[in-house]
Structure 1
Amino acid sequence: MRTPAPAPVPTPSPTRTGAPPKSPEKLPLLALLALATAVFITSLTETLPAGLLPAMSADLGVSESAAGQTVTVYAIGTALTAIPLTAATARWRRKRLLLAAMAGFAAANTVTAVSDNYALTMAARFVAGVAAGLAWALLAGYARRMAPAHLQGKAIAIAMAGIPVALSLGVPAGTFLGKVLSWQVAFLVMTGLTVGLLAWIAALVPDHPGQEPGGAKTPMLRVLRVPGVTPVLLVTLVFVLAHTVLYTYIATYLDGLGMGGSTDLVLLVFGAASLVSIWVVGALIHRRLRALTLASVLLVGVAAAVLAVFSDTPALVYVAVTLWGLGWGGAPTLLQTAAGDASGGGAADAAQAMLVTLWNVAMAGGGVFGGVLLGLVGTASFPWTILLLLAPVLLVVFAARRHGFPAGNRL
């Protein structure tokens, strides 16, 4: 998963765009699974290069650190355009907007697959990031509006299930395809999945109107004055940066350890551990938000320490990757929930939009920072860098006891 979706856009009053479809009494499972597939495609498109960097760099004629910027430019596309494009398309009907976003993914992944030019590949990845900004601003709210009030949480959970599936199955499968066939085939498979999804959405996903003019908006700077919001945003920025420094260059890092042939298996272990983490967080978050956040940071820190000291032992590398997945898998849910709790109802939309933007700023920064480290001091510096970055994250979470990451139950 990679990137969490902003809070849902409020359901508009039925005026000239027509009344939205009446919510069913039970969940429209096939429609929600289509949204989950859209989340899967957005998450996998973002992270797929992580397992394919050596082959991509060789074919594009650039260094591996330069190839790693394909993740960076994707995140930049999302960070720069998510808020303005979401505002510009707020009145679009939801189905039309979703189809447009997914068509953007199909086009961008096709160009990425057939391009042998680094600049063209980077442009395609930027377009994919723009499409992701539109999709992430839409998907959670779309799922919510499909469900009756008492099942809206479950509807969003089903739609967001695409994130762990992408981590646990998609990236390892794409890495395997890249190794057995070619990295271009992996991106073409993504195009094929997206074309099939476009037909699925057109046939089975209900339409809803966009937002009508006149809705109340919370200025972004005012959100930062709400107690607890700034600590959550700071933790998001630095924690995601720490994660991305290593994840973007995981194939290169493993090559340096002599484990390049096991990249797909390592990513599978990471993804499976992430699934466990998401399940645990989902079960306990209403009672243990603070404890789970501290555990998340500590687990990733311990994983980095193991990699820093014992990376010459393959078995301990797998242990570290398991701890990393256990710590990271639930982090998007924890941070998004903390931002929503801290901001309250009136500022929740603005806080979530800022969180998504900072998330992608950190993704872009991680790709750039990791590339610089790779060029200057090599991959052995990655675990130590993660440890240095996580120290202030842990301190901020500890300090934000009253607001941001409060102790006690969430009611």
Structure 2
Amino acid sequence: MSTRSPVHESSGTLPHQRVGRRELPLSALLALALAVFVTSLTETLPAGVLPALGADLGVGESAAGQTVTVYAVGTALTAIPLTAATAAWRRKRLLLAAMAAFALANTVTAVSSAYPLTLAARFLAGVAAGLAWALLAGYARRLTPVHLQGRAIAIVMTGIPVALSLGVPAGTFLARATDWRTAFLAMTVLALAVVGWVVAAVPDQPGQPPERRERILGALSVPGVVPVLFVTLVFVLAHTVLYAYVASFLDHLGMGGSTGPVLLVFGAASLAGIWATGALIHDRLRVLTIAGAALVAVAAAVLGLLSGVHAAVYVAAGLWGLGWGGAPTLLQTAAGDAGGERADAAQAMLVTLWNVAMAGGGVLGGVLLAGAGAGSLPWSVLALMAPVLAVVVGARAHGFPARRA
């Protein structure tokens, strides 16, 4: 691995342009965090309004659930080729285009009365997500001095647990109080708010020079990239297997009315995990990744062994959230570090595999639920986390090094 910071390699920004900056550009980072929030909530919001959405479109809940799947498919299919095609675009222009696409997709979803049109809008939203996810972490790095880059990514990635723990319940409440279409129109308003905030507060950054763009698809040959991508795929798969069916699992335990409180504990712990990650990631990326994976594994074991004790379920939710909360920041940072000159390409591949894992987790969880019952879900998580821990521990030289370059 190069001994130089991968940010200087991939951003096109000269080191002297940031010498005088010693603090976090908080307003710009919060704008990017809101973009992450919009991206995450747009993906997951249909899960909270499936019955009403399906009834309005004249399809069953299973078909309505495909609005989540097609979003992930849109991201998985387009993240890498679109990242390569837009590598030379200036970063601010690209982010604004992605947010405008979110606004359009959510508006069409809100007004559509045809199931195929709704699926097309959701696919467009997934395409916008592929662009945004491949861009946001790198953008945060480029705006921030090297010693604060991990903290900057942690701030930006706060949008994920906030969307899951607060955004989805709030969107579901709004949909029940008014109409599910109102919730999607609210997402349009948020996307437009991001556009305005980015225009006002986020400095522009250049894209990659043509000679770097031509090598964007060669990131897999860079030492460390493959271990990071493997960990991303399996870690997210394990998380999604349980998260996608947590309501069914809790119902299996006789805690069907406790889904909201359990997810609130998970979300609060996720925020604590992000805070700890932001504070320690610059010098402790490897330790934090091992700790996060271990906490998720322990949480799965607690759910498997002590599921009859309701208090233990809340403890497990806290451990799960604490271990998972920092994962997006840790994996995005590890991909950027490992990728070096091809950091954007590595992060685009990470985005692709992340969404493949989310779609796969939904399918695998459904198969386990139907075939082996809800009680099998935590044990499947534990089985998947074993190779994650093994690869992170083994990737000491490249991928998850003891000392970051």
Above 0.5 in TM-score?
Answer: yes
The yes-or-no answer on 1:103 pairing with 2:105 is no
Q: Name which of 361, 364, 367 aligns with 1:372.
A: 367
Verify the 8 A CA contact 1:228 1:405 in the aligned structure 2: yes
Task: Provide TM-score, normalisation by structure 1.
Answer: 0.82
Asked if 1:358 corresponds to 2:353, the answer is yes
Amino acid at match of 1:228: G
State which drifts further: 150-159 or 320-329. 150-159
Aligned counterpart, 1:46: 43
Match for 2:174: what amino acid? L
Measured after TM superposition, the shift of residue 277 of structure 1 is 0.9
- The alpha-carbon distance between structure 1 residues 61 and 246, as it changes in their structure 2 partners (threshold 3 A), is farther
**Aligned: 1:323 with 2:324:** no
AA matched with 1:44: L
Q: Distance in 2 between matches of 1:7 and 1:359?
A: 22
Within-5 A mapping of 1:70-219: 70-115=67-112, 117-146=114-143, 155-215=152-212, 217-218=214-215
CA–CA separation in structure 1 for the residues paired with 2:278 and 2:20: 25
Q: Where does residue 398 of structure 2 map in the other structure?
A: 403
Matched pairs, number: 397
Q: CA RMSD in A?
A: 3.4
Larger deviation, residues 356-365 vs 345-354 = 345-354
Pick closer, same or farther for the CA change 1:273–1:26 going to 2, 3 Å. Answer: closer
1:389 aligns with 2:384: yes
Q: Contact 1:72 / 1:366 at 8 angstroms: preserved in 2?
A: no
Q: 1:318 to 1:154 in 2, by over 3 A?
A: closer
- Residues 175 and 264 of structure 1 are in contact (CA less than 8 Å); yes or no, is this contact kept in structure 2? no
- 240-249 or 108-117, which deviates more: 108-117
Instruction: Give 1:273's match in structure 2, choosing from 269, 272, 281.
Output: 269
Matched residue, 2:228: 232
Deviation at 1:238, TM superposition (A): 0.9
Q: 1:151 to 1:46 in 2, by over 3 A?
A: same
The structure with more helix, counted as a fraction of residues = 2
Distance 1:214 1:347, change over 3 A: closer
The 2-side partners of 1:375 and 1:258 are apart by 18
**Percent identity over paired residues:** 71
Whole-Å Cα distance in 1 between the matches of residues 18 and 396 of structure 2?
A: 43
> Aligned partner of 1:288: which letter?
R
Name the TM-score, length of structure 2 as normaliser. Answer: 0.83
How many Å apart are 1:79 and its aligned residue?
1.5
Name the amino acid aligned to 1:11.
G
Cα distance in 2 for partners of 1:91, 1:218 equals 12
Paired position in structure 2 for 1:11 = 12
Match of residue 297 from structure 1: 293
1:171–1:267 CA contact under 8 A, matched in 2: no
Do the aligned residues in 2 keep the contact of 1:176 with 1:264 (CA within 8 Å)? Answer: no
1:349 aligned to 328, 344, 347, which one? 344
Counterpart amino acid of 1:234?
A: F
Letter in 2 for 1:232: V
SS in 2 for 1:214: helix
CA distance in 1, matches of 2:31, 2:138: 14
Displacement of 1:362 in angstroms is 1.0
* Pairwise CA distance, 1:130: 0.4
How far apart in 2 are the matches of 1:410 and 1:212? 25
Superposed CA deviations along residues 348-395 of structure 1, whole A, max 9, x for unmatched, are 333222222211211121122223334444433322221222222223
Among 233, 239, 252, the residue aligned to 1:243: 239
Work out the CA distance in 2 between the residues paired with 1:261 and 1:114. 32
